[in-house]
Chains A and B, each alone.
Chain A
């Protein structure tokens, strides 16, 4: 698909992150799928570090 075709076709969005992005687009009449994702360990640095060591990442 050419880039320009993209703007001419129906927009289908997958949103990862803040649900307000999804809601704004929905209010404009677009179809949006929200991915149920959150940062590992809720973003807690100490726990993320412990997890990294245990997961070998």
Chain B
């Protein structure tokens, strides 16, 4: 039988030796592999229009209106159901998207390059919190913001990034972990570091002071500006660990709001899925309750897959506080994740554990053997299209997907 421990060691080596760098931006249709004019990318494993959850349908409606392919909600729904729009997971195109994760052809995307392994990844720009496309909102103000992001925000950022000759993502993430971020639900430190790096370059490459002011205020006003960058960084770092014969390391965990899916290095592109669950522990915005919540959604669990997010929550006690937990709870969560991971990422550290590397590389065998599930901290969208974000919370990945993967692994290798 193939040496699984050796295969996992190689998978982890590739993940932790990634050199992710933000090198520029482009329109999805021009830069995302396999993107088509009639295609919309979405979060999670494959899903058809009829099985999509409310917020994902809302995101599709927003994207079709944004692209000018529909003018009303009804037109967009008819078009989406007609079969003329091709839906495809972000993960099938070297991309990731938070929450609904919708990427349409005209949307600008960040380009992250992992030079050590010669691969790239892509993610859209973050719109902010509340009523936004990724949470399923499609009202005129949502579309207007997306248009401003395409016409003003994107070219301004792109010029600045290229002027800087790119930006080292690994360094920003490493520093942010020392500033109370876990890079999934808290990106305040990373966004601040991004702001410090990009601001002088924006001033240098943009002449209109009103544009400069609005762009800088937009970055400063959204603590999650860096989330999409951290996700694309995780994606670029994990992709080289795919397709290693005999490796039981998880290379993707993603949710489409209907299903939760994982992919495993030694099992190619096969998805193992189970129903997505509503996060049981959550903080809801005023006026909303668990009854309003959609089941777990988004590609952002790529952060936990890469050893950050919930796995690094011991570095970010503020995240646990909002669900009534303590810093000790956060450390215990991180400590428990060492039980199901192959190793540690010495570049990414938890200060309160004497700068121990974050638990990295989920081993399907350990998850099943110990009955200990990967822990994810996540945003929560309203279950109906058009509303947006209603809270944030903590959720475990479903055991079913790991059991399915173990059985498939046993059939292929044992």
User: Which chain A residues have a beta carbon within 8 Å of chain B's beta carbons?
Assistant: 38-42, 44, 46-47, 49-51, 53-56
Q: Could you say which of A40, A46, A49, A53 contacts B369, with CB atoms under 8 Å apart?
A: A40
Please tell me if the beta carbons of B370 and A54 are within 8 angstroms of each other in the complex.
no
What are 13 A-B pairs at a CB distance below 8 A?
A38-B370, A41-B371, A41-B406, A47-B368, A50-B406, A50-B407, A50-B411, A51-B369, A51-B410, A53-B410, A54-B365, A54-B413, A55-B369
- Beyond contacts A39-B371, A47-B368, A54-B4: 16 other A-B pairs, Cβ-Cβ < 8 A, are A40-B370, A40-B371, A41-B369, A41-B371, A41-B406, A44-B403, A46-B407, A47-B403, A47-B406, A50-B406, A50-B407, A50-B410, A51-B369, A53-B414, A54-B413, A54-B414
A38-B371, A54-B414 in contact; A47/B365 too (CB < 8 A)? no
Contact B369 A42 (CB under 8 A): no
User: Do A51 and B365 form a contact, CB below 8 Å, given A41-B403, A44-B403?
Assistant: yes
CB distance from A51 to the nearest CB of B (A): 6
- Expressed in whole angstroms, the Cα–Cα distance for A38 and B368 within the complex equals 11
B interface residues (Cβ-Cβ under 8 A, vs A):
1, 4, 248, 365, 368-371, 399, 403, 406-407, 409-411, 413-414
Question: Interface on chain B toward A: helix, strand, loop, or mixed SS?
Answer: helix
- How many pairs, one residue from A and one from B, have CB atoms within 8 Å of each other in the complex? 45
Q: Which residues of A contact B368 (CB under 8 A)?
A: 40-41, 47, 51
Interface pair A42/B4, CB less than 8 Å apart = no
Query: In the complex, what residue of chain B is closest to A38 when comparing beta carbons?
Result: B371
Which residues on A sit within 8 Å (CB–CB) of B365? 51, 54-55
Closest to B411 in A: A50
Closest chain A residue, CB of each to CB of B403 = A47
Q: Which residues of B contact A54 (CB under 8 A)?
A: 4, 248, 365, 406, 409-410, 413-414
- A55 surroundings in chain B (CB, below 8 A): 365, 369
- Identify A42's interface contact among B1, B371, B407, B410, CB under 8 A: B371
Closest chain B residue, CB of each to CB of A49: B410
Question: Chain A nearest CB: distance from B374 CB in Å?
Answer: 16
**How far, in whole Å, are A53 and B413 apart by their CA atoms in the complex?**
9
Q: Are A42 and B414 CB-contacts (below 8 A) given A54-B406, A54-B409?
A: no
What B residues does A39 contact at CB under 8 A? 371
